[in-house]
């Protein structure tokens, strides 16, 4: 804002605000007035300037003219200057700089202290939207299709500083599924509430389960990360942390774990419900700045405390709680998750149905690991779909047993009896299909003309697909070796 030069505020256009200047046809005097003058002092006729004000002339006055300026109104005293201005980089000179100039001149101070510069929203190929290209996305049509909150979350999650936003249909669809996940989890929580009107207090720490302590510990970390994301304008980081916490920790793990305790007697159920409501309330508040409509609707149906207020917008924003820090609970849940994921992966590799019950035995666990696994055996059996789970110093192997390694432990998984020959034939057929597709992609990428002439995004898609197929091929080969008796002993 140094070395500022004069700015011509007139434009020769057919439409716009006419410049409020009139010229006497007799004496040449210029009259500037809020009201249309009838005649010059000399009695001569007047003709108004034919130019119109530059669009940005009125825009520059917006920070203070909307609050009663030139009168020193209460709104102007309270809200001017404000803290933050959000804008795209292409109008920094046209609007931001001019608001600063006029603010200093007419209101006595700059209108804001910080400017957050957003990227431009482009199409999924990174091209600027243009009617001539036919790639314009109407946000109203998008909101009708996927909802306002899904669109808001998409834009927030992709708002990486210094980068434009490629508005991809697949990303928008993915975040619509996230909103659906929130709805489904909320329906489950509300089903547990029944006639409960007031929020039950959190039970003392000694009465919390390991899963309770873990989810409070993880939420505490997310509160800090989201708060820092908002404070540093890393809205993409805040959205990313909330997405992964809600979906991959809260919904996929804690809600599944708490279902067991919600079926218990009065004390166990009451404690589980109190923690469940606390987590759901606080994560709704964290999500509210990004997805305000869904979170308000959910929050209005949750049992609340008297101090919460009438709307989630006015409810206190979550703050970290040092009492929720619990690294021991985090380590115990990490062990549970690792064992369950290992068993689920082996089940998926063998195409064993979720309804089919299998058994698992952990070998090589330390004394502390055995304690945790024994205490969590019911949860592990439920989450992994087991009819039996135990820890042992040494585990016998059968013909239908596969072994996977997790840390220093070996997980022996008893699979259902089946036809190994048929399974091998099915896997070999799938491997042949992958080999054919891989060969086709390799031929394309080996062609200099394809790499040079094809659109860059098409080449990148081919390379990404090659990596996925190579990974799938490696897993299939490992399973085939195991079925042939060549897997790990």
Question: Which of these ranges, 60-74, 78-92, 329-343, 417-431, has the smallest mean pLDDT?
Answer: 417-431
Name the band, by pLDDT with cuts 50, 70 and 90, for residue 36. very high
pLDDT tens digits along 303-322: 988 888 899 999 999 999 99
The answer on 456 and 317 residing in a single domain is no
Specify the pairing of strand 386-392 against strand 358-363. Answer: parallel
Question: Which of these ranges, 151-160, 314-323, 350-359, has the smallest mean pLDDT?
Answer: 350-359
Q: Which of 373, 390, 414 is the last residue of a domain?
A: 414
**What CATH number corresponds to the domain at position 428?**
1.10.287
pLDDT mean over 296-303 = 94
Q: How many domains does the chain fold into?
A: 4
Q: Averaging pLDDT over each range in 129-138, 234-243, 339-348, 396-405, which range is the top one? A: 234-243
Q: Which residues contact 211 (CB under 8 A, 6 or more apart)?
A: 253, 254, 257, 258, 333, 379
The answer on 158 and 303 residing in a single domain is yes
pLDDT tens digits along 260-272: 888 876 678 889 9
pLDDT score recorded for residue 481: 75
CA–CA gap between residue 363 and residue 365 (Å, rounded): 6
CA–CA gap between residue 239 and residue 233 (Å, rounded): 11
The answer on 14 and 89 residing in a single domain is yes
Residue 488 lies in a domain: no
pLDDT mean over 83-112 = 92
Higher-confidence residue of 458 and 475: namely 458
The answer on 354 and 276 residing in a single domain is no
Question: Which of these ranges, 74-78, 117-121, 226-230, 382-386, has the smallest mean pLDDT?
Answer: 117-121
The answer on 163 and 261 residing in a single domain is yes
pLDDT score recorded for residue 134: 74
Residue 360 in tokens: 């698992």
Is the Cα dihedral 282, 284, 287, 293 positive or negative? negative
Q: Which of 414, 431, 449 is the last residue of a domain?
A: 414
The answer on 364 and 408 residing in a single domain is yes
pLDDT mean over 467-471 = 87
DSSP H stretches of helix in 266-321: 266-287, 292-299
Range of the domain at 309: 152-325
CA distances, 189 to each of 184, 273, 297, 303, 315 (Å):
9, 8, 14, 11, 20
Neighbours of 379 (CB within 10 A): 22
pLDDT score recorded for residue 482: 64
Question: Which of these ranges, 245-249, 279-283, 414-418, 461-465, has the smallest mean pLDDT?
Answer: 414-418
The answer on 300 and 189 residing in a single domain is yes
The answer on 179 and 107 residing in a single domain is no
């Amino acid at each position: 804002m140094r070395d500022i030069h004069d700015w011509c505020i007139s434009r020769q256009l057919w439409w716009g605000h006419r410049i409020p200047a009139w010229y006497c046809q007799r004496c040449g005097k210029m009259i500037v007035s809020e009201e249309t003058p009838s005649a010059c002092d000399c009695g001569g006729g007047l003709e108004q300037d034919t130019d119109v004000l530059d669009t940005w002339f009125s825009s520059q006055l917006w920070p203070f003219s909307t609050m009663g300026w030139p009168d020193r109104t209460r709104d102007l005293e309270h809200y001017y200057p404000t803290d933050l201005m959000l804008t795209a980089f292409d109008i920094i000179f046209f609007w931001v700089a001019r608001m600063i100039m006029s603010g200093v001149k007419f209101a006595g101070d700059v209108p804001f202290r910080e400017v957050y510069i957003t990227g431009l929203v482009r199409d999924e190929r990174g091209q600027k939207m243009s009617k001539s290209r036919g790639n314009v996305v109407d946000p109203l049509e998008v909101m009708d299709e996927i909802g306002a909150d899904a669109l808001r979350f998409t834009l927030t999650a992709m708002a990486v500083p210094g980068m434009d936003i490629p508005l991809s249909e697949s990303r928008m669809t993915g975040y619509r599924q996230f909103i659906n996940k929130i709805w489904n989890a909320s329906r489950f929580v509300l089903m547990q509430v029944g006639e409960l009107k007031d929020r039950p207090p959190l039970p003392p720490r000694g009465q919390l389960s390991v899963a309770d302590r873990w989810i409070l510990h993880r939420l505490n970390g997310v509160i800090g990360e989201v708060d820092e994301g908002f404070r540093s304008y890393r809205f993409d980081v805040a959205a990313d942390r909330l997405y992964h916490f809600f979906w991959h920790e809260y919904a996929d793990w804690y809600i599944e774990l708490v279902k067991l305790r919600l079926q218990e007697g009065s004390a166990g159920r009451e404690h589980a419900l109190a923690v469940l409501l606390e987590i759901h309330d606080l994560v709704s508040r964290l999500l509210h700045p990004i997805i305000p409509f869904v979170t308000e609707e959910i929050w209005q149906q949750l049992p609340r405390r008297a101090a919460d207020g009438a709307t989630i917008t006015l409810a206190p924003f979550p703050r970290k709680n040092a009492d929720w820090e619990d690294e021991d609970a985090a380590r115990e849940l990490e062990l549970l998750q690792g064992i369950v994921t290992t068993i689920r992966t082996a089940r998926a590799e063998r195409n064993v149905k979720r309804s089919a019950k299998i058994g698992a035995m952990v070998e090589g666990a330390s004394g502390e690991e055995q304690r945790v696994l024994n205490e969590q055996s019911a949860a592990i059996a439920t989450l992994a779909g087991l009819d039996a789970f135990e820890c042992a110093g040494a585990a016998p192997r059968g013909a239908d047993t596969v072994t996977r390694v997790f840390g220093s432990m070996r997980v022996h998984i008893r699979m259902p009896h089946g036809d190994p020959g048929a399974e091998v034939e099915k896997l070999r057929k799938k491997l042949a299909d992958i080999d054919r597709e891989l060969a086709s992609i390799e031929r394309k990428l080996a062609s200099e003309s394809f790499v040079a002439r094809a659109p860059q995004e098409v080449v990148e898609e081919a390379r990404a697909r090659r990596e996925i197929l190579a990974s799938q091929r490696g897993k299939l080969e490992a399973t085939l070796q195991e079925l042939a008796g060549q897997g790990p002993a």
